[in-house]
Structure formats: structure tokens, C-alpha cells
């Protein structure tokens, strides 16, 4: 496979029972819109007991059944927030870390130096994050993964990727390679995913490609680069 090949959502997801949590950022083929997608999956009852809720343009994870919550620390957080001309999406409470860092004049990368992978050994789930910066009718974006340097969680390795958006191309970063015990951490650069012009088509294809047993929620947002207006789609398995 050529390193510049762009694969479909189905090719990247349909045969993977557990990529974990995933972020996609890119530009539509017509070049008119920026897009983000964020999904969560779960294997345990605690992880599966979640839904996405959108409030005033921000997205939160919330328990579906509050009586069944065992440990909220790693599963309840703000996943999508905005600050000035930045749109932030992450798989944990580092969303707040990034937004507060931007507010203090720090960069995306600088803000994340204060965080590490999640303390859930032996998996040591990576923290994955993305930020879009809108300016002059276009945008740039960065993606980050913070992951354990070894199987013992001894140290944290930090990787940041900077992108100029290309029409029809998205980058896909997820927490795990696939299912396992312990679950193997994502490796390499974010994967190249084809983006659709139509938000409903993109949402439908992502949701259907995720493993039926393990998928929980999906959020997709398209931002018009000319007007700044946004539209979103939210899908919860638990309704």
C-alpha cells in the first residue's frame, strides 16, 4: 500500500472489533467545510453505560443509567469544546486542559505536556486529542497522542502531528490497534481516511462500520469555512 493512499471508513473500521475511542479531522472533497468526528466504544458495563449529549455547541459524555456508574473519572468528560477560533476534541478531560492552555496563551502541544496517558494499567489507554484553528477562510489542524513508553507505564511518550488540510482527506487517530488483553496501543501516524461532502453520509458510514457489539456513541460536526456556521449529528446506541 502506498503511504499516500486514502482508505474509506469501512476499510479502516469494519474488520476491527475494538479500535477504542477515535478522532477524525479533515476537509470535505469540495473544500468548503472542515469536519471532525469522535466515537467511543466499550467492553465493560461501566464503559458501555454512556451517551453523548450536546449542549450549546459543546459535547459531553454522560451516564446512560446513573445508578450503574462504577468509576466516572475516565468516562465522563467534555469531549468537544471551542475557544476563540479553535475547536478542540479529545478522548478525556484533557479537553479542558487544552482549552485552559489556549486561554493562557500556550500552544496545543505545550498544554498537553502537563498530561500523560490514562492510569488504567495494564492497558494505559493513550490520550488522543485534536485542535482545529480557523483563520482567513480556511483552517489548519493538529493531532496528539500521549502513550506509555513501556508495558509498565514507566514514562510517557508524546507525539504531535501538524496538518495543512487537503480536499477529501481526513486523519484518523484511535486509542488501540485492535482488541486484546492488554489492549495494544495505537502505533504509527494517524491513518488517512476519505471524507464525504455530505454529513449524513459520513455519519452513517462511520456508525455502520463500527463493531455492533462494542460501539457506543458517535459525534460528527461540519463547519462551513465561508460562514463559520456548523451542523452536527449525534448517534447514541443507548437511547
Q: What is the pLDDT of residues 65-91, one digit of tens each?
A: 888 877 777 778 999 999 999 999 999
Q: What is the mean pLDDT of residues 171-175?
A: 98
Q: Does residue 1 belong to any structural domain of this protein?
A: no
pLDDT in tens, 46-62: 889 899 999 999 999 99
- CATH number for 102: 3.60.20.20
Instruction: Please report the pLDDT score of residue 73 as a whole number.
Output: 76
In angstroms, rounded to a whole number, what is the distance separating the alpha carbons of residues 121 and 61?
22
How many residues would you count in the chain? 239
In angstroms, rounded to a whole number, what is the distance separating the alpha carbons of residues 201 and 204?
5
Q: Does residue 4 belong to any structural domain of this protein?
A: no
Is the pLDDT score of 177 beyond 90?
yes
The parent domain of residue 161 ranges over 9-236
Is the pLDDT score of 100 beyond 90?
yes
Tally of structural domains, the chain: 1
The alpha carbons of the chain give a radius of gyration, in whole angstroms, of 17
Instruction: Please report the pLDDT score of residue 11 as a whole number.
Output: 98
Q: Does residue 3 belong to any structural domain of this protein?
A: no
Q: pLDDT class for 109, splitting at 50, 70, 90?
A: very high
Of 217, 130, 110, 225, nearest to 171 (Cα)?
A: 130
Q: What is the mean pLDDT of residues 201-210?
A: 98
Strand order in the sheet with 191-194: 191-194, 169-174, 22-27, 33-41, 215-224, 230-236
Amino acid at each position: 500500500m502506498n503511504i499516500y493512499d486514502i482508505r474509506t471508513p469501512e476499510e479502516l473500521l469494519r474488520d476491527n472489533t475494538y479500535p477504542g475511542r477515535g478522532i477524525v479531522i479533515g476537509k470535505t472533497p469540495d473544500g468548503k467545510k472542515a469536519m471532525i468526528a469522535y466515537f467511543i466504544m466499550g467492553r465493560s458495563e461501566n464503559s458501555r453505560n454512556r451517551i453523548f449529549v450536546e449542549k450549546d455547541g459543546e459535547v459531553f459524555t454522560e451516564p446512560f443509567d446513573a445508578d450503574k456508574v462504577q468509576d466516572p473519572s475516565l468516562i465522563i468528560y467534555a469531549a468537544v469544546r471551542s475557544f476563540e477560533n479553535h475547536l478542540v476534541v479529545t478522548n478525556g478531560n484533557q479537553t479542558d486542559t487544552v482549552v485552559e492552555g489556549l486561554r493562557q496563551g500556550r500552544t496545543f502541544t505545550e498544554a498537553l505536556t502537563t498530561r500523560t496517558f490514562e492510569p488504567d494499567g495494564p492497558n494505559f489507554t493513550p490520550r488522543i486529542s485534536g485542535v482545529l484553528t480557523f483563520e482567513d477562510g480556511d483552517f489548519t489542524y493538529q493531532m496528539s497522542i500521549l502513550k506509555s513508553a513501556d508495558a509498565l507505564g514507566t514514562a510517557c511518550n508524546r507525539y504531535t502531528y501538524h496538518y495543512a488540510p487537503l480536499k477529501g482527506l481526513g486523519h484518523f487517530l484511535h486509542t488501540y490497534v485492535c482488541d486484546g488483553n492488554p489492549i495494544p496501543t495505537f502505533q504509527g501516524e494517524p491513518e488517512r481516511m476519505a471524507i464525504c461532502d455530505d454529513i449524513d453520509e459520513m455519519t452513517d458510514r462511520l456508525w455502520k462500520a463500527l463493531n455492533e457489539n462494542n460501539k457506543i456513541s458517535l459525534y460528527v460536526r461540519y463547519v462551513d469555512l465561508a460562514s463559520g456556521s456548523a451542523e452536527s449529528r449525534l448517534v447514541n446506541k443507548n437511547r
